[in-house]
């Protein structure tokens, strides 16, 4: 005989302001199976919880319905209270009469009616609830960090310094990411590589970190605490153990004019190369597409020059399997292709470059050794025009969001230019100067006041070439008139966009992404470093445009989440898992295919003599995540979900 | 020798040699233009075999009779191209092993019939592939086209009228080779999702659930429509589901037994028009 307690929460005025809680309570008191029903101002407060516990004990309740806010808010609170009163926590259900009722309706009478229906429906469900016991699963205390930029390195170091093992996977030949390409960093103007390379070395030498460069994550299976990850080690054609990184092969390689990816095509590289001088590891890779040997079958000069015989043209890709407990995704960003802006002439005029290319010019390790030179004739530009929001905040051609870092790096570019070319003049076309951050506004003011950067508030309509100059036509909206500037170089503050394969990769690892391809956090404000998939965390610009301090902060935050997960040997999981009725299972294996967690196996049912009677599906509760995909697929409805059984759902629907 | 006679000789041989324990074919029915299934275990029973243009029923479903295949012995069955595709689907869904089934293939062209060469379902890959190609370019059925032109309200009224005749006899289910579940959802009364009484809502529920369960699995053999005692145009529903699955997932059911069930498998390039 069901003895259900119904507790109607006012939530201050949030619920009681619209719903007649007395009427709702009275209606529930009349409902068959309800032993006790009363209302209270705040059930989540201690006295409220105590009154629920007392009601459970006094009435020997067999189930509890809290008519209150969303289960996402207080389900855990109330289930815990029930458990303390000796009731199985899974016999407590939440009827959401706030988010799904009082907040969204204007007519109080109708809202009350609806609240009665919602609550009644949950009472009907809870009558069929069963005692469930939490499932314990072991945690593999080893983390995978995907992406070897500053965010990935920071997360890996934080986890490793806490004593846990880390696998750090980077798809390029060296750690470093975009930060290693930068010249100086705002707002302190310290050299990017000088602060980056020690971190790279620290990560590479850390006994707890296994660094895999030139490697890509091929697949991720499993679930929180127990991921199975396959990593593809792309063939470098150079043996990492024998190579000392002497660089002789690079010097002798006859193919020398390949545009360097690291130098944004300003510099050139050879077919066997390291991306940059301070690369970690310092082992070169052979670019198969451009190598003479791979194209024609002849050359092998690098192999002949290498005294250690480290070059191996027969090297194959290798797949390594890892058991992983938590994953930090730090796959970073790309800069937008500016050729969509025909009017700015990017790609058409050599001296129109993007911000990242300017970084390479300004960098001491860059192809010009830190001199700002025009790509067309190698002369020092006397006037440089910077165009901000070249892609950002532009719904028509670019992206709608603000890329966040461009105001600051453009201010920095103008400042670096002023420091390197004393007679030069820098003009910046801007929409707004967004300099929110520690020391940021002071930095832009310093550019304007000390380095005489000229800021023009307005957009640029066209850039064209005339007498060896780049003519920039824009508008100064503060003066209210058009301006034309004859420049020697134009720098576009290009938008930050997700990696081109970000969406595909999200599907490989099983996390969500937004319309652009930035990875979705579980909650924008309260869970910004967690993905919606348990055990997978986000760090850096793969989630949204970020500068270095933000990326580092988020990386450390993600690391702390990983460490919290690793602090226990076992993980307690909700017992919401699928079960199979073997008597009715038709053995079609649709569920085996449909299951995203590979949690369903084939099971033979045999008689006493061992003769096969039938084959059925069998759910492994340790692997099952309770997503219900198999349940919806099963044509004979043999599969069912504990806590959400068909009978319960049916009763819930019929209770309406 | 006619195709029927050739096959009679072949069937006798199959049975007398012991290669198969049973041959499923056709024999004369209650009227001149109807055939009924004929289960032959001895060469003597073969004399009653009929194979002509009236042999349109897809016999593949009979293979799944409880226990029939459990001894591992082979069974031969007369199949049109649609029936051969059924064998592929049943094999893909682990209901039978295709090397236990000898296909006696034939096709109907007007009033003529012709034999199809091959022994196992996999021998007919070229045929099933060309059938896939032909289905892609098939002219839309006029009644189907007429339904597409209707407003949703008109279409609802059309089906409401058609389903109002349904008496829940489940003959469509019994006739369908794909409805092999030992316990169908409508036989489950804890809970009773699909109402058993014959009113509009329950009738809609049953017929739509049936159509959905066949999406990406139906070979359009027409068994269900022919079995329906109240002439509900079930074929139209199945045709629509086949169109949808072809358009959305480029999946034509039963081309081979290695095909994955379309609604149970996930591909990265599947269209996701309803998922962000």
In sign, the C-alpha dihedral spanning A511, A516, A518, A521 is negative
**Average pLDDT over all residues of chain B:** 92
Dist CA A146 CA A439 (whole Å): 31
At residue B267, the pLDDT reads 72
What is the tens place of the pLDDT at every residue in B193-223? 888 888 888 899 999 999 999 999 999 999 9
Tell me the HSE value of B208 on the side-chain side, using a 13 A CA sphere.
12
Contact B265 A594 (CB under 8 A): yes
The C-alpha angle A321, A325, A327, rounded to 5 degrees, equals 85
Burial class (CB in 10 A: 0-12, 13-18, 19+), A349: middle
- Better-scored residue on pLDDT, A613 or B246: B246
Task: Please enumerate residues of B whose Cβ is less than 8 A from a Cβ of A.
Answer: 93-95, 180-185, 188, 190-191, 193, 213, 260-261, 263-266, 268, 276
**B70 Cβ contact list (under 8 Å, min separation 6):** none
Picking from A504, A589, A635, the nearest residue to B181 by CB comes out as A635
Contact residues, chain A, for B94 at CB < 8 Å = 587-589, 615
Dist CA B214 CA B237 (whole Å): 10
In terms of phi and psi (left: phi > 0; alpha: psi -120 to 50; beta: otherwise), the region of A463 is beta
Q: Where are the domains of chain B?
A: 3-136, 142-249
A-B contacts at Cβ under 8 angstroms: 57
Q: Single out the residue of A595, A613, A596 nearest to residue A604, CA to CA.
A: A613
CB A499 within 8 A of CB A421: no
Rounded to 5 degrees, φ, ψ at A483 are -130, 150
The C-alpha angle A196, A389, A451, rounded to 5 degrees, equals 65
- CB atoms under 10 Å from CB of B70, counted, come to 11
CB A156 within 8 A of CB A168: yes
At residue B268, the pLDDT reads 67
pLDDT confidence band for B274 (50 / 70 / 90): low
B99 in helix, strand or coil? Answer: helix
pLDDT confidence band for B266 (50 / 70 / 90): confident
At residue B188, the pLDDT reads 86
Dist CA A629 CA A577 (whole Å): 11
At residue A339, the pLDDT reads 81
Tell me the HSE value of B43 on the side-chain side, using a 13 A CA sphere.
10
A142-234+317-332+499-566 domain in CATH 3.40.50.1580?
Answer: no
- What six digits make up the tokens of B2? 């006619």
Residue B269 has pLDDT above 80, yes or no: no
SS3 annotation, A201-216: HHHHHCCCEEEECCEE
At residue A341, the pLDDT reads 85
In terms of phi and psi (left: phi > 0; alpha: psi -120 to 50; beta: otherwise), the region of A636 is alpha
For chain A, residues with pLDDT lower than 50 are none
Dist CA B199 CA B195 (whole Å): 8
Beta strands A165-169 and A209-212 are parallel
Contact residues, chain A, for B93 at CB < 8 Å = 588-590
Which residues are B25's β-sheet partners? B38
At residue B1, the pLDDT reads 75
Dist CA B189 CA B171 (whole Å): 19
Q: Single out the residue of B57, B85, B63 nearest to residue B218, CA to CA.
A: B85
CB A331 within 8 A of CB A551: no
DSSP state of A11: T
- CB atoms under 10 Å from CB of A607, counted, come to 8
**A16 Cβ contact list (under 8 Å, min separation 6):** A10, A41
B142 in helix, strand or coil? Answer: helix
Contact residues, chain B, for A646 at CB < 8 Å = 191, 193
CB A284 within 8 A of CB A273: yes
Q: Single out the residue of A393, A399, A390 nearest to residue A492, CA to CA.
A: A390
**A455 Cβ contact list (under 8 Å, min separation 6):** A427, A428, A430, A433, A448
Dist CA B132 CA B252 (whole Å): 6
The CATH T-level fold of domain A334-497 is FAD/NAD(P)-binding domain (3.50.50)
At residue B272, the pLDDT reads 67
* Cβ–Cβ contact A586 with B under 8 A: yes
Picking from A507, A587, A593, the nearest residue to B268 by CB comes out as A507
Rounded to the nearest angstrom, the gap between the alpha carbon of residue A129 and the centroid of all alpha carbons in its chain is 37
Beta strands B101-109 and A226-233 are unpaired
CB A519 within 8 A of CB A512: yes
At residue A574, the pLDDT reads 85
Residue B274, min C-alpha distance to chain A (Å):
14
Q: Nearest-CA residue of chain B relative to A613?
A: B70
Domain A334-497 in the same topology as domain A142-234+317-332+499-566: yes
At residue A216, the pLDDT reads 97
Contact residues, chain B, for A594 at CB < 8 Å = 263-266
At residue B276, the pLDDT reads 46
* pLDDT (average), residues B24-41: 95
Residue A602, min C-alpha distance to chain B (Å):
11
A466 in helix, strand or coil? Answer: strand
Contact residues, chain A, for B195 at CB < 8 Å = none
Contact B191 A635 (CB under 8 A): no
In terms of phi and psi (left: phi > 0; alpha: psi -120 to 50; beta: otherwise), the region of A128 is alpha
Q: Where are the domains of chain A?
A: 4-127, 142-234+317-332+499-566, 248-305, 334-497, 578-655
Walk across the sheet containing A226-233 and list its strands.
A215-223, A226-233, A318-324
> Mutation test of the interface with chain A: which of B66, B258, B264, B268, choosing the one with the most A Cβ atoms within 10 A?
B264
Residue identified by tokens 């590589």 is A193
Q: What is the CATH number of domain A4-127?
A: 3.40.50
Number of helices (H) and strands (E), helices first, in chain A?
Answer: 18, 36
Residue B264, min C-alpha distance to chain A (Å):
4
* Cβ–Cβ contact A590 with B under 8 A: yes
> Mutation test of the interface with chain B: which of A511, A590, A607, choosing the one with the most B Cβ atoms within 10 A?
A590
What is the tens place of the pLDDT at every residue in B69-115? 988 999 999 999 999 999 999 999 999 999 999 999 999 999 999 99
Cis peptide before A224 (omega within 30 of 0): no
The CATH architecture to which A578-655 belongs is 2-Layer Sandwich (3.30)
**A353 Cβ contact list (under 8 Å, min separation 6):** A266, A346, A361, A375, A489, A490, A491, A492
The CATH architecture to which B142-249 belongs is Orthogonal Bundle (1.10)
- What six digits make up the tokens of A362? 């300004």
Dist CA A355 CA A359 (whole Å): 6
Q: Nearest-CA residue of chain B relative to A637?
A: B185
Which residues are A410's β-sheet partners? none
Q: Single out the residue of B260, B177, B163, B263 nearest to residue B218, CA to CA.
A: B177
Residue A634, min C-alpha distance to chain B (Å):
9
Which of residues 498 through 517 in chain A touch B, CB cutoff 8 A?
504, 507, 515
């Amino acid at each position: 005989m069901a003895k259900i307690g119904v507790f109607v929460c006012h939530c201050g005025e949030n619920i009681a302001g619209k719903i007649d809680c007395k009427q709702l309570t009275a209606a529930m008191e009349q409902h068959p199976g309800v032993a006790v029903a009363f209302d209270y101002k705040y059930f989540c407060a201690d006295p409220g919880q105590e009154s629920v516990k007392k009601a459970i004990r006094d009435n020997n309740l067999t189930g509890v319905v809290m008519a209150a806010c969303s289960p996402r808010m207080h389900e855990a609170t109330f289930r815990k209270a029930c458990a303390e009163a000796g009731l199985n926590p899974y016999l407590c259900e939440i009827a959401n009469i706030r988010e799904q009722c009082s907040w969204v309706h204007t007519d109080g009478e109708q809202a009350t009616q609806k609240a009665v229906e919602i609550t009644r429906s949950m009472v009907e469900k809870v009558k069929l609830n069963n005692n469930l016991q939490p499932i314990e699963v072991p945690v593999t205390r080893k983390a995978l960090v995907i992406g070897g930029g500053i965010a990935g390195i920071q997360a890996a170091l934080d986890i490793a310094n806490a004593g846990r093992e880390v696998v750090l996977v980077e798809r390029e030949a060296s750690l470093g990411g975009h930060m290693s390409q930068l010249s100086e960093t705002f707002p302190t103007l310290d050299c990017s590589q000088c602060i980056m390379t020690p971190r790279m070395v620290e990560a590479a030498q850390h006994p707890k970190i296994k660094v895999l460069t030139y490697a890509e994550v091929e697949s991720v299976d499993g679930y929180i605490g127990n991921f199975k990850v396959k990593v593809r080690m792309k063939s470098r054609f150079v043996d990492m153990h024998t190579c000392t990184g002497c660089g002789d092969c690079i010097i002798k390689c006859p193919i020398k004019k390949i545009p360097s990816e690291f130098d944004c095509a300003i510099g050139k590289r050879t077919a066997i190369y390291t991306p940059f001088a301070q690369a970690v590891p310092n082992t070169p890779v052979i670019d198969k597409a451009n190598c003479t040997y791979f194209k024609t079958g002849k050359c092998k000069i690098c192999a002949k020059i290498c005294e250690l015989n480290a070059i191996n043209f027969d090297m194959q890709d290798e797949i390594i399997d890892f058991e992983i407990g938590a994953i930090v995704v730090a796959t970073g960003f790309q800069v937008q292709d500016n050729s969509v802006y025909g009017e700015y002439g990017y790609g058409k005029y050599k001296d129109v470059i993007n911000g990242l290319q300017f970084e390479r010019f300004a960098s001491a390790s860059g192809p010009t050794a830190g001199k700002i030179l025009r790509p067309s004739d190698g002369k020092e530009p006397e006037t440089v025009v910077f165009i901000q929001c070249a892609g950002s905040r532009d719904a028509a051609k670019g992206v709608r969001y603000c890329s966040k870092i461009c105001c600051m790096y453009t201010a920095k570019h103008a400042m670096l230019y002023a420091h390197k070319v004393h007679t030069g003049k820098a003009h910046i076309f801007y929409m707004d100067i967004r300099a929110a951050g520690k020391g940021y506004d002071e930095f832009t003011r310093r550019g304007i006041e000390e380095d005489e950067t000229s800021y023009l508030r307005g957009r640029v309509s066209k850039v064209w070439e005339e007498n060896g100059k780049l003519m920039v036509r824009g508008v100064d909206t503060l003066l209210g008139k058009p301006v034309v500037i004859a420049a020697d170089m134009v720098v576009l503050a290009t938008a930050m966009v997700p990696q081109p394969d970000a969406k595909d990769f999200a599907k490989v690892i099983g996390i969500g992404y937004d319309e652009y391809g930035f990875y979705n956090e579980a909650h924008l404000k309260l869970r910004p470093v967690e993905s919606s998939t348990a055990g997978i965390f986000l760090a850096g610009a793969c989630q949204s445009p970020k500068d270095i301090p933000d990326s580092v902060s988020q990386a450390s935050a993600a690391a702390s989440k990983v460490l919290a997960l690793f602090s226990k040997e076992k993980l307690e999981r909700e017992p919401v898992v699928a079960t199979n009725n073997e008597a009715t299972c038709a053995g079609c294996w649709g569920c085996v295919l449909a299951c995203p967690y590979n949690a369903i196996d084939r099971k033979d049912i045999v008689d006493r003599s061992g003769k096969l009677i039938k084959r059925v599906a069998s759910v492994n509760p340790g692997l099952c995540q309770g997503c219900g995909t198999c349940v919806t697929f099963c044509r004979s409805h043999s599969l069912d979900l504990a806590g959400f059984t068909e009978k319960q759902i049916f009763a819930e629907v019929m209770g309406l | 020798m006619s195709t029927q006679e050739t096959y009679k000789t072949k069937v006798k041989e199959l049975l007398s040699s012991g290669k198969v324990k049973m041959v499923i074919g056709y024999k004369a029915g209650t009227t001149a233009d109807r055939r009924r299934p004929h289960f032959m275990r001895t060469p003597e029973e073969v004399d009653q075999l009929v194979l002509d243009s009236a042999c349109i029923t897809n016999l593949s479903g009979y293979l799944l009779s409880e226990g029939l295949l459990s001894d591992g012995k082979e069974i031969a069955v007369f199949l049109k191209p649609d029936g051969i595709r059924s064998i592929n689907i049943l094999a893909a869904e682990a209901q039978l092993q295709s090397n236990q089934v000898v296909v006696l293939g034939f096709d109907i062209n007007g009033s003529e019939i012709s034999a199809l060469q091959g022994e196992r379902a996999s021998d007919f890959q070229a045929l099933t592939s060309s059938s896939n190609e032909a289905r892609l370019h098939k002219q839309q059925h006029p009644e189907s086209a007429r339904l597409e032109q209707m407003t949703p309200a008109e279409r609802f009224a059309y089906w409401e009228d058609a389903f109002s005749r349904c008496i829940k006899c489940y003959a469509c289910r019994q006739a369908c080779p794909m409805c092999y579940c030992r316990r169908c959802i409508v036989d489950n009364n804890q809970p009773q999702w699909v109402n058993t009484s014959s009113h509009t809502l329950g009738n809609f529920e049953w017929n739509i659930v049936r159509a959905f369960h066949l999406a990406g699995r139906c070979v359009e053999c027409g068994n269900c429509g022919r079995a329906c005692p109240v002439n509900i145009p079930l074929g139209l529903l199945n045709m629509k589901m086949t169109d949808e699955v072809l358009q959305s997932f480029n999946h034509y059911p039963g081309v081979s037994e290695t095909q994955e069930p379309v609604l149970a498998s996930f591909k990265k390039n599947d269209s996701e028009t309803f998922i962000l």
